[in-house]
């Protein structure tokens, strides 16, 4: 009976670990998608219908668009390129000035009657249909007219090779497997690599559940149709992103130590004690790995502050609490001024240190009850519970002054580098219906600070 219970416990713990690892990996990979979409959403908000014309009759206007795309691409480490397309899906501007006049192969462009979505769109495009002649994952946001017709849009491309490099950066045991699959069942990346199957629709594993549009996770035990090995699978899907992360632990490998110990048990009671110790050790390791996965899933890897997902969860919770108890709540949006020039002049490692330095100053400037998080690139936010407009402005000004006066970066060649930040402040009012509205208001104030000359705090004091 103890042997059976021990075997089932090991399988159950590995099942939980497979799901948690798939959740962690999906959140990590999903952060790349969400960060790119955040940039695309910002770009689509800046583009007017008059910008979506090909060919562009104004070379200076085309150059301004290209410069804007270059600045945005510099904040996205895993994205290969950003383009703007017109109502006919023709590329009219790109970050590198190439592929202008090419036609996008998104579904809305190549499939008659395909719906024109107003939100985020994600699609795998094989090399033979890709403008770059490399298989890519496309992320796009359409600009849609009031009558629902396509006016154009913005598009970011992640080369599939980068997804493969990312997934192979995770260590796997013999016969274990990690995979990325899109919503149509196409295998996008795999560790260990399986080149002959990449870009092809993978056979459905028996017992594999199907997911809808919501975020979901599941586990099952099944024989893989690709190599015939039985595995303990955990799989996760991020909300609104048609990508699955699949983690498979080889069942024979999982139970190898258990079988060896079980054989020893036939020798007597001492072997039973050894098996108990093994199970306890495996349980302790699983608990430790579970806690490590939890921390990784909520923390920005570069800075150690909250990642975007964690910040939004905390913000929504504080928003609901403030509404329920009629308590004040404020938010700060913080952005490094002229960050692109730091990267261009001193390199991305120095730019990363600037981002880390800002995160440290923000943590020091706020209170223990506040939450600091990185939204992406050089943009941060802070959630300030129990704080009205006056208090938020004081904290924001203290942060701005600390960055200006206290941060001294040293470049690779020994030069001292100083930088400033712009801060937008928003406070909860009757006109704000959601946490997203609060962040949007702070974002608008941030852009006013940028437009007003940078290195300043701007708040909507009339809100």
* CB environment 249-271: b (16+ within 10 A), e (fewer): bbbebbbeebeebbeebeeeeee
Rounded CA-CA distance 205/208 in Å is 5
- Catalytic pick from 318, 371, 378, 379? 378
Beta-bridge mates of residue 245:
180, 236
DSSP 22-84: HHHHHHHHHHHHHHHHHHHHHHHHH--GGG--SS-S-HHHHHHHHHHHHHHHTT-TT--EEEE
Query: Are 263 and 274 a contacting pair, CB within 8 Å?
Result: no
CB 41 within 8 A of CB 141: yes
3-state secondary structure of 100: coil
Parallel, antiparallel or unpaired: strands 457-459 and 421-427 = parallel
- CA distances for 416 relative to 336, 344, 404, angstroms: 17, 16, 13
Residues linked to residue 264 through DSSP beta bridges, in sequence order: none
Nearest CA-CA partner of 386 in 306, 443, 331, 307? 331
d(CA 60, CA 380): 32
Active-site residue, 111 included: no
Residues in the chain: 463
Catalytic residue ranges:
378
């Amino acid at each position: 009976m103890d042997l059976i219970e021990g075997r089932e416990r090991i399988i159950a713990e590995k099942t939980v670990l497979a799901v948690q690892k798939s959740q962690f990996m999906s959140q990590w990979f999903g952060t790349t998608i969400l960060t790119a979409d955040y940039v695309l959403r910002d770009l689509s908000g800046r583009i007017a219908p008059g910008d979506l014309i090909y060919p562009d009759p104004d070379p200076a206007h085309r150059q301004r668009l290209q410069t804007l795309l270059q600045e945005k691409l510099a904040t996205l480490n895993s994205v290969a390129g950003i383009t703007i397309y017109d109502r006919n899906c023709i590329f009219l501007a790109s970050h590198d000035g190439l592929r202008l006049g090419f036609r996008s192969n998104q579904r809305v462009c190549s499939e008659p009657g395909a719906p024109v979505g107003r939100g985020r769109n994600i699609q795998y495009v094989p090399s033979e249909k890709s403008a770059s002649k490399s298989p890519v994952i496309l992320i796009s946001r359409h600009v849609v007219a009031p009558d629902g017709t396509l006016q154009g849009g913005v598009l970011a491309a992640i080369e599939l090779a980068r997804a493969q490099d990312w997934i192979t950066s995770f260590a796997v045991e013999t016969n274990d497997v990690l995979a990325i699959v899109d919503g149509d069942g196409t295998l996008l990346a795999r560790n260990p690599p399986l080149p002959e199957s990449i870009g092809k629709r993978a056979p459905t594993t028996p017992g594999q559940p199907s997911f809808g549009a919501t975020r979901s996770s599941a586990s099952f035990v099944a024989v893989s149709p690709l190599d015939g090995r039985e595995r303990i699978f955990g799989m996760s899907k991020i909300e609104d992103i048609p990508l699955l992360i699949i983690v498979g632990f080889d069942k024979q490998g999982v139970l190898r130590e258990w079988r060896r110990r079980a054989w020893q048990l036939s020798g007597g009671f001492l072997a039973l004690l050894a098996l108990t110790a093994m199970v306890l050790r495996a349980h302790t390791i699983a608990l430790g790995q579970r806690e490590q996965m939890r921390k990784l899933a909520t923390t920005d890897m570069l800075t150690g502050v909250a990642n975007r997902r964690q910040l939004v969860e905390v913000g929504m919770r504080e928003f609901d609490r403030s509404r329920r108890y009629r308590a004040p709540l404020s938010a700060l949006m913080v952005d490094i001024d002229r960050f692109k020039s730091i990267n261009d002049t001193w390199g991305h490692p120095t730019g990363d240190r600037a981002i880390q330095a800002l995160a440290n100053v923000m943590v020091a400037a706020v209170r223990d009850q506040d939450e600091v998080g990185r939204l992406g690139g050089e943009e941060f936010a802070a959630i300030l519970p129990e704080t009205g407009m006056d208090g938020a402005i004081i904290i924001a000004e203290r942060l701005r002054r600390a960055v200006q006066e206290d941060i001294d970066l040293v470049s690779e060649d020994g030069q001292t580098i100083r930088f400033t930040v712009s801060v937008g402040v928003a406070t909860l009012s009757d006109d704000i219906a959601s946490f997203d509205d609060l962040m949007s208001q702070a974002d608008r104030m941030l852009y006013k600070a940028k437009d007003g000359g940078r290195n300043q705090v701007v708040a909507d004091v009339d809100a």
